[in-house]
Amino acid sequence: MSNLLDFPPKKTYDLDLETPIQDFISAHGGGHPDEFKYDIKQWHSLRNNAVATVVHVDQIDVLSLYHAQLTSILSKLPSDIPLEISYAPAFNPRKLPVTLNNLTFERAAILFNLASLYSQLGASTDRSNTDGIKNAVARYQYAAGTLSYLNTVLPSLSKGIDEEEQPLDLTSPFVLGLKNLMLAQAQECSWQLAKINHYKNSLIAKIATRVASLYALSLQEFRNANPSVKHILPSDWIPHIEAKYHHFTAVAAFRKSLDETENSRYGYEISRLSKAQEEAKKAYDIGRRGKITASVLEDIKSLLDTVQKDLARAQRDNDLIYHHDVPAAAALPIIQETNLTDSTIPPALRDPNTALKQMQPLFDGLVGWGAREAMNIYNDRKQTLVRERVVEAAQELQFQADEQLRSMNLPAALEALERPIGLPPSLLRKAEEVQLENGLSRVTASIEDVRRLAQNNQAILDGAMDILDSEASEDEAARNEIPLNRLPSHEANVELIEKERRYRRILADAGESDETIRQKWDDWEESIAQLTWNEADLEASVPSSTVGSSSNFQSLQTRNHARSLRARLEQLDALHHDRDQLVNQARNLEAADDIQPRVLKVASGFERLTEIRADMFEDILDEELAKYDRFINVMGDLQQREESLLGDIRVINEQFLESRRDDPSVKDREHALQSLDLAYFKYREICRNLDEGFKFYNDLAGILTQFREVCKVWSLQRRRELHDMQAHISFEKLSLNDDGRVQQDLPSSEARTRSDAPGTQLSGSRFAHLSSRAPPSLESQEWEFEDMNLPPGPGK
């Protein structure tokens, strides 16, 4: 029996791959599901071969190939796809398995099983010759390297699952405990080889010290793990490892005592032997109580016997011949460690391509989820950046400028002064815009369209309720004739009724918004109508200010202030024009900006089988988004210039107003021009509100139509259920009695008794499934309207 440990693989169960994988590809894109039928078939075949618990050197290639293909799959599919993967605990295969929707769980379990295979091959190796010992060393080092590699995968597994769901045998402390155990056993084999090759005692002592140190590290990992993992190990493992630690501490001390003898340090020899005896006794006691393997216990007992004999001899010789002082154990120089082994990651794990050989990676033609996710992230960031930092920033600046100018009665006050007779060009442009759009007719028609759409929505909802009312009437009529073993309509359709109430409230709120818009139109229709007049009539409606070059109220100072104001307003208009151009440029760039070619090019540059994650493209996304920085920087510069200009305009306007304080004719003209200017803005606001209402009702009509169809399906289902019940009861009325005669025209009370008799209740018959039917699901996620907002109410 081997005096070294190996650990078993994790047992798994058959996996349905086809449906979940095809559904995922169909839902998330990257290719057509039918293109990957062969890949799915190959996946299933590779998995079946890999999970076979065969302890043979050829199984290494089988597991390595499957792991390489899993690496390829994880570069194309996300870890958390809806694929239920189950593995039982390694040391207790009969225990309830852990089931996770996590491909990294599959990868981690396969790596664990590969390490298990290496450990089993190492334990079964014939170590009676040097070649066998070297093979055992290599296999234990590969086991440790595989576990070390597994430990780098575990963080990805932990991210995708809750802490309490993670299998304890796939936690870092447990895996590191196994890794150090494998290294300790590899070092122990190297120590055995050193003995066979007759290395110096001082070197063998150093090798043994390292063996003890590695066993101590393994013991520490298992004991200090949080949560505890000791309970999942076989009962003799912890005693075995602890006994090995003390055993090799004793071996190191014994070998060092031989070195002390060779160098005539007889007092040190005795002290080393005393230490060896103490540690060997501890090892033997722990092993005996822990019921460890007999071969290990025999090794410890053999060492203990040898140490005790040598200690008795050394003490006798020192007492009779050498008379050297014996130092305390604490005063002895520490035995340095010599490490002859290390974790060796198998080549097929370091470079999975070597495991594939001539085999094509699975899902090679599928655009990787990481690349797709990176594209989606970039598009979201790009759209958000342009919308918030450019478009909305420009709108906010325009709004602030308009508000400040309106509060200062500009440009109306300036135009009233500069053009005491006639109309300002800006007002003429606005009037022409309303006329070209046939403004009055447009608003009137839009109001009517919105009203018609609102009525249509109301009619659809009423139609849905008529369907439910009709079904309820049929249900009530049927209940008066026959007993029905199902919920009455007012209980069965409660979800539908709740939806109807919600839609009814939404329509009521929308109606209030519509009424506010109509009221605003009534308030401003007359003023907006003025903008549709011909130029002569419009000019006649605006008072003129009788101005002469020598008028008292238009002093030289007033004209200077007016010129300064006009210059600043023209600068502000130029600034707004530059800003509008900047917004258009940003929108055009956003529309044409396609990061896909660069992402795919970068993705193709990664090593084959690399797990491509979206965060691997962060630098690329940042570089691509950087081209929008110039728009943000220019927008910030335009904001500063606008704030400065508005500040100048405010100061000059105060001076301008002060210089013409007593000019009533100009004030009347200012008021008239300002009223027309405000009428134009109200016209635009009403048009925008009506457009939003039009879109709102069109969107809602689709949702209400869907709701009406659900009501139809539900009512039809209830009618069919009722028809089946009526047919069943009619059949019972015509059933044969005990003498074989047909019972017909039974009194209604007897018919009711028959139908209520045991065996005739629908819930207990072949019609029982009818009573359990429920209305179609009305979960909120199936109704896009749940997240749909009312259009903003018009400003008052």
Q: Return mean pLDDT, the chain.
A: 84
Q: What is the pLDDT of residues 691-720, one digit of tens each?
A: 999 999 999 999 999 999 999 999 998 888
Kindly list the structural domains of the chain, giving each domain's residue range(s) and its CATH number in brackets, ordered by start.
11-355 (1.25.40.280), 369-547+555-731 (1.20.140.50)
Determine the pLDDT at residue 420: 53
Instruction: Band the pLDDT of 319: cuts 50, 70, 90.
Output: very high
Determine the pLDDT at residue 119: 97
CA distance 589 to 627: 9
Q: Which range (295-309, 616-630, 646-660) has the least confidence?
A: 646-660
Q: Locate 796 and state its tokens.
A: 């008052």
Determine the pLDDT at residue 416: 58
Tell me the sheet residues that pair with 700: none
* Confidence check: pLDDT of 51 > 80: yes
> Taken in order 219, 224, 230, 232, is the CA torsion positive or negative?
negative
Determine the pLDDT at residue 24: 83
Determine the pLDDT at residue 690: 92
Type of residue found at 698: N
* Confidence check: pLDDT of 184 > 90: yes
* Confidence check: pLDDT of 611 > 90: no
Type of residue found at 157: L
Determine the pLDDT at residue 792: 41
Of 73, 76, 15, residue with least CA distance to 45: 15
Higher pLDDT among residues 658 and 245, named by residue:
245
Q: What are phi and psi of 391, to 5 degrees?
A: -65, -55
* Confidence check: pLDDT of 550 > 70: no
Instruction: Band the pLDDT of 565: cuts 50, 70, 90.
Output: confident
Q: What is the pLDDT of residues 465-503, one digit of tens each?
A: 999 999 999 988 888 888 888 889 888 888 999 999 999
- Most confidently modeled range among 32-36, 355-359, 531-535: 355-359
Q: Is the peptide bond between 227 and the residue preceding it cis, with omega within 30 degrees of 0?
A: yes
512 Cβ contact list (under 8 Å, min separation 6):
none
Q: Locate 86 and state its tokens.
A: 């189950």
Higher pLDDT among residues 755 and 525, named by residue:
525
CA distance 448 to 455: 11
603 Cβ contact list (under 8 Å, min separation 6):
368, 370, 371, 612
What is the DSSP annotation of 381-414?
HHHHHIIIIIIHHHHHHHHHHHHHHHHTTTTHHH
Instruction: Band the pLDDT of 741: cuts 50, 70, 90.
Output: very low
Determine the pLDDT at residue 774: 39
Q: Locate 701 and state its tokens.
A: 């009509």
CA distance 387 to 378: 14
* Confidence check: pLDDT of 773 > 50: no
CA distance 544 to 263: 124
Q: What are phi and psi of 306, to 5 degrees?
A: -65, -45
Determine the pLDDT at residue 612: 58
Find out whether 185 and 7 touch, Cβ atoms under 8 Å: no
- Most confidently modeled range among 15-29, 520-534, 655-669: 520-534
With a pLDDT cut of 70, the percent of the chain lying above it is: 83
How many Cα neighbours within 13 Å face the side chain of 529? 8
Q: Which range (97-106, 468-477, 610-619) has the least confidence?
A: 610-619
CA 110-115-120 angle, 5° bins: 120
Q: What is the pLDDT of residues 620-650, one digit of tens each?
A: 888 888 989 999 999 899 889 888 888 888 8
Determine the pLDDT at residue 147: 98
Q: What is the pTM of this model?
A: 0.58
Tell me the sheet residues that pair with 736: 742
* Confidence check: pLDDT of 549 > 60: no
